[in-house]
Chain A
Amino acid sequence: MLLIPCPHCGPREEREFRCGGESHVARPASAEAPDDRAFAEYLYVRSNAKGVQAERWHHLYGCRRWFNLLRDTVTHEITAVYPMGAPRPESAA
């Protein structure tokens, strides 16, 4: 059971959250003239890191707000919590 540190509500158990996948996936700027490869990359391709990964979490059954985590996908250790829109912090691990 993960204990997720919601920046608004404090630590809560993982049942209250949904993971929204990797953070910092940028939509292609060329939305006016879509490039299939660029959109496939944006929609489907991910780093899928074994180790520290930046990901979005949603406190669905709580404050219903979104935030970012740095979480290790092997140990589940959470090393940073930061707001949506903020750049990825320097990873400690």
Chain B
Amino acid sequence: MTRYSLLSLARHALTGHRRWAPAWRDAAPKPAYDVVIVGGGGHGLATAHYLASRYGVTNVAVLEKGWIGGGNTARNTTIVRSNYLLDDSAFLYEHSLKLWEGLTAELDFNVMFSQRGVVSLAHSAHELTALRQRDRAMRLNGIDSEMLDLPALHRLAPALDLSPTARFPVTGASIQRRGGIARHDAVAWGFARAADRRGVDIVQNCAVTGLRIEKGRVTGVETTRGPIRAGKVGIAVAGHSGVLAAMAGLRLPIRSYTLQAFVSEPLKPVLDTVIVSNQVSCYVSQSDKGELVFGAARDNYASYSQRGSLPILEDCVANMLQLFPAFSRVGVLRGWGGTVDVSPDLSPIIAPLPVEGLFLNGGWGTGGFKATPGSGDVFAATIARGEPHPLAAPFGLDRFATGRLIDEAAAAGVSH
């Protein structure tokens, strides 16, 4: 496969751009692999890429029940940040953010990572104190963070209503300038292309229907395209983590809910940063196409429907219009819901399961997109070595019995 370059672009211009090779092979499943990754979203594809590029495991298949990047990878608000309070989370998400910063070059695919800053708003003195605590914790961990006073915030986002009589008065804010947004499908396609180039088979329309387990050890998977033997199996299926675990007779500390988002019609540039308000459960950015991308809170009952509830949507719109009165005449084009796997402490689970050779990467809940490259790297290392990557070690299943939880309720975002 040729690298993308100015030269290749010029060469293909001569033939009217009709002869570009597919970015990855649409592979048929082989009878056996060293590693099978279940789930062709960003996390699964990133895992396959790093298995092949960093850990020397190239006999790998990614099995996707639909099309790659068609699940939660396409059902989020693409925000990337590492502004977490606790050390374990900060190191994991910062590892990911550093990978984001080199990802376009590493993958030879433009993931359109735009470091336009992520702003967290405070609406009370107490929330401002909590923001300051998080700001200091991040800086102690060597992660960029700044507090913003109201004049600075006004210069950054003039459309934001900062008047003291606002329904939700803003008392202050923090910003992580290295945070931003990325192009969701480019992330899936870029990882797919890079993994494919190293020999990984990406198998679409291939749903896993069962796990083969012999004498406490996983030996393969049953799929809608026939059985596939595997030395190791990694599960990266987000909201369906519990469904896959049940195939191994396991139950997880995970609940699946719907998280929804929606976009407006395209507008001229009005907002060139990301604004997050935990207090009123909404967040907004403007995509490169000009659409305002809004995220809402998650529903409060279990769901695999991929449809969000209308009261949550209504609350998000009502609160957003208090923050940005100018958006009241903007038309909404479409919305979507994704099935998110929420763990009790709102932190992921990256761990071997109590079946030899079976590994789980799940529990990312409402904030998995930002972690895509870092998650893939530490999960690949965990699978390849058979023991947790140092950054993944605190995120094991045993923490729920030992009580060593990684409670990220404040930093995990608006939706919990």
Return chain B residues, CB-CB under 8 Å to A2. 309
Return chain B residues, CB-CB under 8 Å to A39. 401
- Report the interface size for chain A: residues with CB under 8 A from the other chain: 27
- Shortest CB distance A81–B (Å): 15
Return chain B residues, CB-CB under 8 Å to A40. 253, 400-401
Contact B243 A50 (CB under 8 A): yes
Interface string of A30-44 (1 = CB under 8 A from B): 000000110110011
A-contacting residues, B36-68, CB 8 Å: none
- Shortest CB distance A60–B (Å): 11
Q: Is B303 an interface residue (CB 8 A)?
A: yes
- Shortest CB distance B314–A (Å): 9
Partner of B305, one of A14, A15, A36, A73: A73
With A53-B302, A73-B256 as contacts: A47 and B309 at CB distance below 8 Å: no
Contact A14 B400 (CB under 8 A): no
Q: Is A12 an interface residue (CB 8 A)?
A: no
Complex-state Cα separation, A41 to B240, whole angstroms: 19
For this complex, 21 residue pairs linking A to B, each with C-beta atoms less than 8 Å apart, are A1-B309, A1-B311, A2-B309, A15-B311, A36-B401, A36-B403, A39-B401, A40-B401, A43-B400, A44-B400, A45-B251, A46-B253, A46-B255, A48-B256, A50-B304, A53-B302, A55-B302, A73-B302, A74-B304, A74-B305, A75-B305
Complex-state Cα separation, A40 to B305, whole angstroms: 28
Partner of A76, one of B252, B303, B310, B403: B303
Q: Is A63 an interface residue (CB 8 A)?
A: no
Complex-state Cα separation, A27 to B256, whole angstroms: 22
Return chain A residues, CB-CB under 8 Å to B253. 40, 44-46
